[in-house]
Structures are given as C-alpha cells and as structure tokens.
Amino acid sequence: DLAQAVVEHFQTGELAGLNVLLNAGPTRENIDPVRYISNHSSGKMGFALAQACVEAGAHVTLVAGPVYMPTPSGVERIDVVSAREMADAVLSRSAQADIFIASAAVVDYTPVEIAENKIKKNASQMQLILVKTIDILTSVATQGSATFCVGFAAETDNLEAYAKDKLEKKSLDMIAANWIGRKNVGFNSENNALSVYWKGGEQELGYMPKSELARELVTLIAKRYHEKNTT
Amino acid sequence: DLAQAVVEHFQTGELAGLNVLLNAGPTRENIDPVRYISNHSSGKMGFALAQACVEAGAHVTLVAGPVYMPTPSGVERIDVVSAREMADAVLSRSAQADIFIASAAVVDYTPVEIAENKIKKNASQMQLILVKTIDILTSVATQGSATFCVGFAAETDNLEAYAKDKLEKKSLDMIAANWIGRKNVGFNSENNALSVYWKGGEQELGYMPKSELARELVTLIAKRYHEKNTT
C-alpha cells in the first residue's frame, strides 16, 4: 500500500534517512521602508532540488527568500527576507544537516544602515554605502561539522575559473556552475545547464528542464556524499 | 443583449469615451546582471484602478512594472522593467490621454552605470553612486497638454504635508495619499485607506478593500475631471 511504499522509499532512496538543508531564492535588503536591493532569482532551481531530495528519501528543510513558489510536498519551508534572516535560519539548523545545498542568490552587499523613514529625494545624486553580508555557505562549510556542502556559481564570464576558485576557497565538497545573462538559461528560465565540479572530478549536466536537472544533480550529490562517507 | 449593454456602458459610464493612462507596480533598476534596486509595490492598487476605469467606460492603457498580476479584462497592458522604460512607455502615450493616474512606485534613484558583467565581491564595503531617474508624473503634468493628472503619495511620516506639497509643486489636479509602514495598509496589503487632496478640497476614503477603494477614487476623479472641463 501507499504507506508501505513511502516507508520503503525513505529506506531505499539515494538520500534515504539523510537530513538535507537548502536555501533558495533571492534575499531583499531594505534601504528604507520603500526601497530595497535584491537579486534576479526565481528560486525555481532550489525548489526543484528540494523536491528531488524528498523524492530521494531525504528529510528536507528549505529556507526560502521572497519568491512566488508553492512549497514542494513533504518539504519543511522557512520563509525569510534579508540575508541576515537567511543566515540565522540556516546556521541554527546546519549542525543537524548531513548535506547543505546553497542555491540561494543571497544579496552580498547590504546598506550599512536602514533608514527608519522614507528617504526624501532632494539631491540629484545619492551615495549608498553597502557592507558585505555574512557568507552563509562559507560559515556552514567552515563550522567544523561534517556537513557535505554544495555551492552554486552563477557567472556572466569566466565560469569554470570562478567556480573552481570558489570550490577551493570555500572548502566545498561540490559546486554547480551555470551561465547567466545568456538566452534561455539561468534566472527565471524553465531550463538550465550545469557544470559540476568537485575535487578530482567534474561532470556536465546538459540543457534540460530544471526538474530533471535537479534529479540529476541530486544523484551526483548522493554518489559523492556516500563516497566521501565510506572512505 | 450583452453587446448593447457594453455599448451603453461606454456611452454612459462616468468616464465614458475617455482615454485613461495609468502606470502601476514598481520598477527595477539593474546594478549589474545579478543585482537590482526596486520598491516594495505589489501593483494591486494600480491594477484595481485600471479595472475600475474600464468599468466606468474608459479606454484604459496600463503601463506595468514587474508584478505578478493578471491583466484586468478590457485593459491594454504594456510591460516594462526600468524607470527609463516606464517613462518612455508613458510619455509616448500621454498626449493622447485625457487622464493620467500615476500609481506606480517608480524607483527614483538608479545606478549611474550598469555593470556589464557581475561585480565580484572583494571589498568589505561597496559604494554605489545613484542618480535621479526622470520624474514621469512631473513630465506629464508639465508637458502642456490638457491631461488631468492624478498623483500618489506613500509616506511613513508627515503624510498630509508631503501630499499637499507634491500636489502644488508638480501642478497636479489631484493627489491620493496613503500611509506606509503601518499595519494592514499600503504595499502588498489587500486593504487601504486614502486621503485625497485637490486645489480647494479634500476627501477621506476610509479603510476598505482596494477594489472598492479604486471605484470610489475613480468616481472622485471623474467628478473633478468633468468639473474642470466644464468650467
């Protein structure tokens, strides 16, 4: 029966019994009560990955920025707005995660202070001082836990070099890289292609719908995760 | 029959036969291919006004920023992203408009230049130089045409003073003011309340669903429009 099938699934899937933590979507950094800085990110890839992880038998927690997406069945979702809120939600859960997939497009510079009231426009120019937000992925990867960390790189240029550099600098277990600013791939697109790198290996996942791409990436993550944890 | 009813409607509604131009929603100003500045605006009030104008017998053109809203039946919609695109779309049509309703939350400062490639984050701080975008409402109100101009003011403080100042400085025919940053009103809320000001008069439109509020405001606009054009 169905209940039995679900039980078997959680016992036999590629990620059976594992806790997977993901973040997805953009964050929003308020300048004042009216204006904000954000990133072009639909959250589609992250939500597709969350669903693929559930289908692979994992317990899935998804920390989502402001996106207009339904929650995949079986996923525990935590909604956040700012990079600071996303960091808090992720870092308070990452010690319990076997795998962390950082698919969110976290805004990396935030206004040094948020104006309490709407800034009136008088000057012809305005100078905004931004400070770096906390690097969530680096914080998880370096917190000393055994979490298997998967990062993303979205680049307009030098994709492979930037991705490999990020893999090494952030001590990641795997990085998935995709082009942006090109036709029919990346942000808001229904399809995408990924170049996946890890220490000593790489694999191209060709142009396909994000749901299929998510399943292929999850298979790759599961394979590398089990290799790492049996050697 | 229905066709006859529609014809009569366009002949007898409060705005029968008039061309109404509206803008609605936020704009997005790109910093680079990944990051942008925007405003908290759902576009709900503007879309409700467009619908109310059609119901009042007007021919309605709606210039919409990036929002997730279906187009009201009978409305001609033009989708834009940036303040520059919204200005071009509005100003190329405003000479033919009898009434212009500026409900959009146009981002008023935009990066002085858009980086062609994604800006890499190296510095702990980042300085963003922003320049004023074109003031669409002022451009329409001062272009010398007979267009009846309705502005909006959304403020966190000093609402009445700011609204009346804007009415006079921009030579508007009417301004509708609402609080933001308060519970259950303004951006993204289903309900709102408006304080409406014009030269020599004002009216409070109490807390109610945006669809009803839109109909009440359209009735007020129609009344003032006909008074102005018969005296």
Q: What is the ipTM of this complex?
A: 0.80
Average pLDDT value over all residues in chain A: 90
* CATH no. for A2-228: 3.40.50.10300
In chain B, whose CA is at the least distance from the CA of A33? B181
The torsion region of residue B68 among left (phi > 0), alpha (psi -120 to 50) and beta comes to beta
Give the lowest-confidence range in A154-168, B21-35, B118-132, B190-204: B118-132
The answer to whether the beta carbons of residues B202 and B196 sit under 8 Å apart is: yes
**Angle ∠(B36,B41,B44) on CA atoms, nearest 5:** 140
Average pLDDT value over all residues in chain B: 90
Q: Given B39, B117, B188, B229, which residue is catalytic? A: B39
pLDDT score at A114: 78
Residues from chain A contacting residue B129 (CB–CB below 8 Å): 125-127
pLDDT score at B191: 86
Please tell me the number of Cα atoms within 13 Å of A154 on its side-chain side.
23
Contact between chains at A130 and B129 (C-beta distance less than 8 A): no
Measured in whole angstroms, the distance separating CA A97 from the mean position of its chain's CA atoms is: 14
Residue A9 pLDDT exceeds 70: no
- With helix as H, strand as E and coil as C, how does chain A read? CHHHHHHHHHHHCCCCCCEEEEEECECEEECCCCEEEEECCCCHHHHHHHHHHHHCCCEEEEEECCCCCCCCCCEEEEECCCHHHHHHHHHCCHHHCCEEEECCECCCEEECCCCCCCCCCCCCEEEEEEEECCCHHHHHHCCCCCCEEEEEEEECCCHHHHHHHHHHHCCCCEEEEEECCCCCCCCCCCEEEEEEEECCEEEEEEEEEHHHHHHHHHHHHHHHHHHHCCC
Query: When comparing pLDDT for A117 and B217, which is higher?
Result: B217
Residue B222 pLDDT exceeds 70: yes
The answer to whether the beta carbons of residues A45 and A103 sit under 8 Å apart is: yes
Cα Rg for chain A, rounded, in angstroms? 18
Give the lowest-confidence range in A78-82, B12-16, B120-124, B160-164: B120-124
Tokens of A170: 């952030």
Local confidence band at B34 (pLDDT 50, 70, 90 cut-offs): confident
Highest mean pLDDT out of A156-165, B115-124, B178-187: A156-165
Relative to beta strand A75-79, strand A59-64 is parallel
Which of B68, B116, B126 would best serve as a mutation to test chain A binding (most A beta carbons within 10 A)? Answer: B126
* Residue B33 phi, psi (nearest 5): -65, -10
Out of A34, A125, A132, closest to residue B40 by CB: A34
Kindly report the nearest CA distance between residue A181 and chain B, in angstroms.
Answer: 6
Residue A206 pLDDT exceeds 80: yes
Contact between chains at A157 and B38 (C-beta distance less than 8 A): no
Residue of A171, A148, A163, A154 whose CA lies nearest to A101: A148
Every domain of chain B and the residues it spans: 2-228
The answer to whether the beta carbons of residues A77 and A62 sit under 8 Å apart is: yes
Measured CA to CA in angstroms, residue B210 lies from A112, B57, B61, B184, B190 at distances of 35, 19, 19, 12, 6
**Angle ∠(B87,B92,B95) on CA atoms, nearest 5:** 115
A39 belongs to the catalytic site: yes
What digits encode the pLDDT tens for the residues A81-137?
999 999 999 999 999 999 999 999 999 999 988 777 776 667 788 888 899 999 999
Q: Return the H-helix or E-strand segment holding B63.
A: strand B59-64
Kindly report the nearest CA distance between residue A19 and chain B, in angstroms.
Answer: 30
Local confidence band at A190 (pLDDT 50, 70, 90 cut-offs): confident
pLDDT score at B18: 97
Longest dimension (CA), chain A: 69
What is the distance between the alpha carbons of residues A167 and A147, in angstroms, rounded to a whole number? 15
The answer to whether the beta carbons of residues A32 and A115 sit under 8 Å apart is: yes
Residue A7 pLDDT exceeds 80: no
Q: Given A19, A23, A30, A39, which residue is catalytic? A: A39
Query: When comparing pLDDT for A157 and B50, which is higher?
Result: B50
DSSP label of B38: E
Residue type, B118: K
Residues from chain A contacting residue B104 (CB–CB below 8 Å): none
Q: DSSP letters of B144-185? A: SS--EEEEEEEESS-HHHHHHHHHHHTT-SEEEEEE-SSTTS
pLDDT score at B189: 72
